[in-house]
C-alpha cells in the first residue's frame, strides 16, 4: 500500500529510507537528514510478524504507531510507501520492483535478525542514535574493565558523568550517586496517592487495525493506555514529569491490587518504538529537578532507569553475543506454567493478579515481572527460552534486546552470573512484605509444607537444596544456603516441592 503523493510505478526519487517499526522518530538515524521530495520512506507491515501469536495490544501498538507515523511523514511531503507484505524482505523486494530506487538506506536495526536482513539485502546501514550509548561505546567501556565483573552501577555512574545528568562538576547532586535504598518502601496500607495515567480514545486508525487482527493473537483489546503517536507520547511525558515523578520512587518495588500502575511512568512502550528518545526523557527529569519540582531521590531513581538500567541492558544484548539465548546453566526445562497465561489456573493470588493485568493491558511493572513471574519460573525450573519468547510476545514493550538479558541474566540466572551476581529468588515472605496479596490468598507465605504452604516458600528452599553446591560458594547466597541446615522438615519440603511443580505445570495449583 502506497501513501504519499504518487502511486504505481514510481520514478524520480533516488534514495529510499527504510524505517522499521521500532524506529518511529524523525530524528533517528537515516531519517534525520532525509528531505521531502528527494527521499522516499519505506515501512513494511510484515504478515509473518503479524501472524505470530502475540498479545493483541502489542501488535496493535506497533501497526497503529507505524500508520500514524507514515501519515505524519506524508503530511510533511515525503513519498511514503507503507505496504503490507508476507515478510520484511518481501516488502523490500516489492518496493524495489515498484520504485526502483538507486539506493536503500536503513538505520541500524535493534535486533540481530533485522541487522542480518539489512546486511543480506544490499541495504546501506547508518549508525543509530536511538540510545545514548551506542553498542560499540558500551563495548569500549566493557573492554576497559578486562578482568573485572561488569556492574550496572559502574556503567550508570560513567553514563551520568559523561552525559552530565544530575551532576555538579564531577560530583553527584546531593552528594550521593544512588538513592535506591529510599525507593524500596512497602505499600501504604490504605492510601492510593498515585495519579491515573493518561488514556486516549480509540479512533478510526485504531479500529481499522483491530478489525484486521480479528482472530489473531491473545489478550484483551486495547483501551487507550499506550501512546501510538509522538504527540501522545510527548503528552504522556509531560504528565509524568508534572504528576508522577514527584512521587516516583518510594513504592517502586511495591505491588498492590488497588493500583496496577502505582507511580510507574509507563514510558517504555513509547521509548522502545522510538516515539520518545532517552535523551529528551532524561532532560525533562533533569530540568524538573533543577527547577525544584522533583525530590532528588525520585529524580535520581528515574534517571537511573533511563540512562542506566535500560542502556545497560541494551549494551549487554550486543556484548553477550548471539549464543547468549542458549545459556541454561541451571538445566531448567519445565514448560511455561498455564497460570502465567490464564489467571483462572491458579489460587496463588499474586500470580493470578499479575496474569490478569498482563491479559488486560499487556503490561505489568518490573517487580511483578521479576519477583512474581521470573521468581516462580526460576524456582520451578522453567526453561529460559520458553520464558524469553513468552515475555517478548506478551508485553507491550517486549523486544528481544529487552527480554533476552533481563530474562536469561536477571530473571532466571540462566547465564550463571554473567549479568547478576545472585539469582533474584525469594520465598513468600518477600511478597508478603511488598504486596497486599497474601492476606486474602489461600496460601500462607510463612509455611513450607502442607496444603496451604506458599508455593514460593516451598520451592525457594527446594531450589537452594537442588543447587546447594553452586550457591553455597556464592558470597551473596551462602548464608541462605546455610539456612537449609536449620530446617528440620527439609525432606518434607523437598517432597512437597515435587507436588508443587507437578501441579504448577498442570495448571491446578
Question: Looking at the predicted structure, is the pLDDT value of residue 173 above 90?
Answer: yes
The confidence score (pLDDT) of residue 16 equals: 98
Closest among 414, 442, 416 to 428, alpha carbons compared: 442
Same-domain status, 420 and 481 = yes
The confidence score (pLDDT) of residue 1 equals: 41
Question: Looking at the predicted structure, is the pLDDT value of residue 23 above 50?
Answer: yes
Question: pLDDT > 90: what percent of the chain?
Answer: 91
Rounded mean pLDDT, 365-382: 97
CB-count exposure of residue 326 (10 Å: 0-12, 13-18, 19+): exposed
Question: Looking at the predicted structure, is the pLDDT value of residue 101 above 80?
Answer: yes
DSSP codes, 281-346: HHHHHHHHHHTT-S-HHHHHHHHIIIIIIHHHHHHHHHHS-GGGGG--TT---BPPPGGGT-GGG-
Question: Looking at the predicted structure, is the pLDDT value of residue 49 above 50?
Answer: yes
Alpha carbons 412 and 396: distance in angstroms, whole number: 21
**Where a domain ends, among 126, 144, 169?**
126
Same-domain status, 450 and 431 = yes
Same-domain status, 143 and 271 = yes
- pLDDT band for position 10 (cuts 50, 70, 90): very low
CATH number of the domain to which 89 belongs = 3.40.50.620
Give the residue numbers spanning the domain of 371. 326-506
Same-domain status, 156 and 291 = yes
Give the DSSP H or E segment for 455: helix 455-466
Other CB atoms within a 10 A radius of the CB of residue 372 amount to: 24
Question: Looking at the predicted structure, is the pLDDT value of residue 21 above 80?
Answer: yes
Number of domains the chain contains: 3
- pLDDT band for position 191 (cuts 50, 70, 90): confident
The confidence score (pLDDT) of residue 244 equals: 96
> Burial letters for 285-312: b for 16+ Cβ neighbours within 10 Å, e otherwise?
bbebbeeeebbbbbbbbbbbbbbbbbbb
Mean confidence (pLDDT) of the chain: 94
Same-domain status, 416 and 330 = yes
The confidence score (pLDDT) of residue 193 equals: 85
Same-domain status, 164 and 308 = yes
Same-domain status, 478 and 380 = yes
Residue 501: which residues within 8 A CB-CB, separation 6 or more?
334, 380, 381, 459
Same-domain status, 146 and 76 = no
CATH number of the domain to which 501 belongs = 1.10.579.10
Rounded mean pLDDT, 45-74: 97
| pLDDT tens digit sequence for 327-363 | 999 999 999 999 999 999 999 999 999 999 999 999 9
- pLDDT band for position 9 (cuts 50, 70, 90): very low
**Where a domain ends, among 87, 108, 126?**
126
Question: Looking at the predicted structure, is the pLDDT value of residue 145 above 90?
Answer: no
Residues 124, 105 contacting (CB under 8 angstroms): yes
**Where a domain ends, among 126, 147, 171?**
126
| pLDDT tens digit sequence for 293-326 | 999 999 999 999 999 999 999 999 999 999 999 9
Same-domain status, 276 and 412 = no
> Burial letters for 439-452: b for 16+ Cβ neighbours within 10 Å, e otherwise?
eebebbbebbbeee
Question: Looking at the predicted structure, is the pLDDT value of residue 13 above 80?
Answer: no
| pLDDT tens digit sequence for 214-228 | 999 999 999 999 999
Q: Which has more confidence, 368 or 187?
A: 368
The pTM (predicted TM-score) of the whole model is 0.94
The confidence score (pLDDT) of residue 478 equals: 95
CATH number of the domain to which 292 belongs = 1.25.40.80
Same-domain status, 384 and 451 = yes
| pLDDT tens digit sequence for 254-291 | 999 999 999 999 999 999 999 999 999 999 999 999 99
Same-domain status, 272 and 351 = no
Residues 183, 339 contacting (CB under 8 angstroms): no
The confidence score (pLDDT) of residue 6 equals: 35
Same-domain status, 313 and 449 = no
Amino acid at each position: 500500500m502506497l501513501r504519499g503523493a504518487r502511486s504505481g510505478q514510481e520514478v524520480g526519487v533516488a534514495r529510499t529510507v527504510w524505517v522499521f517499526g521500532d524506529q518511529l522518530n524523525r530524528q533517528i538515524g537515516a531519517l534525520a537528514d532525509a528531505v521531502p521530495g528527494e527521499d522516499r520512506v519505506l515501512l513494511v507491515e510484515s504478515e509473518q510478524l503479524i501472524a505470530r501469536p502475540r498479545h493483541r495490544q502489542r501488535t496493535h501498538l506497533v501497526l497503529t504507531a507505524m500508520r500514524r507515523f507514515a501519515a505524519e511523514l506524508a503530511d510533511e511531503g515525503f513519498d511514503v510507501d507503507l505496504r503490507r507484505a508476507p515478510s520484511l524482505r518481501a516488502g523490500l523486494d516489492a518496493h524495489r520492483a515498484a520504485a526502483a530506487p538507486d539506493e536503500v538506506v536503513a538505520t541500524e536495526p535493534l535486533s540481530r535478525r533485522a541487522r542480518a536482513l539489512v546486511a543480506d539485502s544490499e541495504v546501506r546501514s547508518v549508525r543509530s542514535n536511538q540510545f545514548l550509548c551506542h553498542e560499540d561505546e558500551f563495548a569500549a567501556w566493557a573492554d576497559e574493565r578486562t578482568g573485572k565483573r561488569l556492574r550496572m552501577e559502574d556503567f550508570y555512574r560513567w553514563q551520568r558523568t559523561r552525559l552530565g545528568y544530575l551532576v555538579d562538576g564531577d560530583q553527584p547532586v546531593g552528594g550521593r550517586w544512588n538513592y535506591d535504598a529510599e525507593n524500596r518502601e512497602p505499600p501504604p496500607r490504605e492510601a492510593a496517592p498515585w495519579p491515573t495515567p493518561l488514556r486516549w480514545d480509540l479512533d478510526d486508525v485504531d479500529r481499522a487495525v483491530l478489525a484486521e487482527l480479528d482472530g489473531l493473537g491473545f489478550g484483551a483489546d486495547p483501551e487507550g493506555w499506550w501512546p501510538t503517536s509522538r504527540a501522545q507520547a510527548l503528552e504522556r511525558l509531560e504528565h509524568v514529569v508534572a504528576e508522577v515523578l514527584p512521587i516516583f520512587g518510594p513504592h517502586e518495588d511495591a505491588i498492590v491490587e488497588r493500583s496496577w500502575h502505582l507511580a510507574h511512568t509507563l514510558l517504555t512502550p513509547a521509548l522502545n518504538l522510538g516515539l520518545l528518545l532517552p535523551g529528551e526523557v532524561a532532560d525533562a527529569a533533569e530540568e524538573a529537578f533543577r527547577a525544584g519540582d522533583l525530590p532528588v531521590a525520585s529524580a535520581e531513581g528515574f534517571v537511573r532507569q533511563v540512562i542506566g538500567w535500560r542502556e545497560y541492558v541494551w549494551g549487554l544484548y550486543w556484548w553477550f553475543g548471539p549464543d547468549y539465548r542458549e545459556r541454561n546453566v541451571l538445566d531448567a526445562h519445565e514448560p511455561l506454567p498455564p497460570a502465567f497465561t490464564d489467571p483462572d489456573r491458579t489460587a496463588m493470588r499474586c500470580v493470578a493478579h499479575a496474569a490478569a493485568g498482563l491479559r488486560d493491558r499487556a503490561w505489568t511493572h518490573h517487580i511483578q515481572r521479576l519477583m512474581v513471574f521470573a521468581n516462580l519460573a526460576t524456582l520451578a525450573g522453567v526453561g529460559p527460552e520458553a520464558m524469553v519468547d513468552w515475555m517478548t510476545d506478551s508485553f507491550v514493550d517486549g523486544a528481544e534486546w529487552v527480554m533476552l538479558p533481563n530474562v536469561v541474566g536477571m530473571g532466571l540466572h540462566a547465564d550463571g552470573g554473567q549479568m547478576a551476581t545472585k539469582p533474584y529468588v525469594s520465598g513468600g515472605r518477600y511478597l508478603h512484605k511488598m504486596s497486599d496479596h497474601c492476606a486474602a490468598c489461600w496460601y500462607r507465605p510463612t509455611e513450607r509444607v502442607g496444603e496451604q504452604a506458599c508455593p514460593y516458600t516451598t520451592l525457594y528452599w527446594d531450589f537452594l537444596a537442588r543447587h546447594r553446591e553452586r550457591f553455597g560458594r556464592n558470597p551473596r547466597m551462602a548464608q541462605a544456603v546455610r539456612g537449609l541446615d536449620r530446617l528440620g522438615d527439609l525432606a518434607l519440603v523437598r517432597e512437597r516441592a515435587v507436588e508443587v511443580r507437578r501441579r504448577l505445570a498442570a495448571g491446578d495449583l
